[in-house]
Amino acid sequence: MSQLTIIPHQIPIIPNERPFRDHVLLNYNEMIHLLGGHNFNNEFMSFHKPWEAIMYPRGRLISFTKYDRNTLETITSLNRNRRSRKIKLQKQQQLINIYDRYNKKKRKQNHVDPSSNNLFQNVMNRLKLIQNLKYEDHLHNRMKKNRQLRRILREFLNDYNNCPLYYIWYDLGPKFWPRWIKTGQCVNLANTSCSLPPGMYCHEKNIENIAILRYICPEKWPLSKCNWYRVHLPIVTECSCQCTSKSIHRKDS
């Protein structure tokens, strides 16, 4: 994946630049002075390759949910969860059976899978509990009186409306300082609507502008004008389900 898949218009393109020379890179204190100490945000920028870029070179999704706001999910697992919502209610038992077989298979493994799908497991656990309550408590007759069931359904709807944020670190190269930038993107999982009834899609809710330095030196400029200049990049920090056109959809890869 190239960096332009997420930030195609934020990175300034300067044609016919002179080759970059390492001697124009000043010491740390001088670079911080040019950037402005108040502009440095270690959540979205780094001088060296961050551990998150090493652990997740293809990026990762952050799921913002009421019950587990900090759950970190993979693209594959969250897409699977979004697709599962399209299955009709009469097929709940089939889902439960599949989930049971999935759990038995996972218990046989001797290692812990770091990409295990917590969100998918929560959804399936709720489906299973709904199914049990249907047989034990006559779901249709007692739905209004059963607080536990209403909570389960409410949390299930919260899962359905989940709009995760896809984050990935990019090395912008030596002409940028800091050169490592974390960019964000809202994702419509499995290319489906995030609302019931369908029609709403995940879109940016909060955007934070960050400032970094860019060394600019076109061939037509005199060398005296070549210098580090501040450029601003908008970074998505939160997504929500909104009445808007489709946002970007990521497929499993």
Question: Residue 54 belongs to what H/E stretch?
Answer: helix 51-55
Distance CA 175, CA 244 (A): 36
Query: Rounded to two decimals, what is the model's pTM?
Result: 0.60
Per-residue pLDDT, 195: 80
How many other β-carbons are positioned within 10 Å of the β-carbon of residue 19? 6
Query: What pLDDT shows up at residue 131?
Result: 64
Query: pLDDT tens-digit profile of 81-136?
Result: 444 444 444 445 554 555 555 455 545 544 434 344 556 566 667 667 666 665 55
In the chain, % helix, strand, coil (3-state, to 5) comes to 40, 25, 40
| For residue 51, pLDDT beyond 80 | yes
Exposed / middle / buried, residue 121 (Cβ in 10 Å: 0-12, 13-18, 19+)? middle
Cα distance between residue 119 and residue 27, in whole Å: 45
Q: What is the CATH topology of the domain spanning 3-63+163-242?
A: Cystine Knot Cytokines, subunit B (2.10.90)
Structure tokens of 16? 């016919």
Residues of the chain with CATH 2.10.90.10: 3-63+163-242
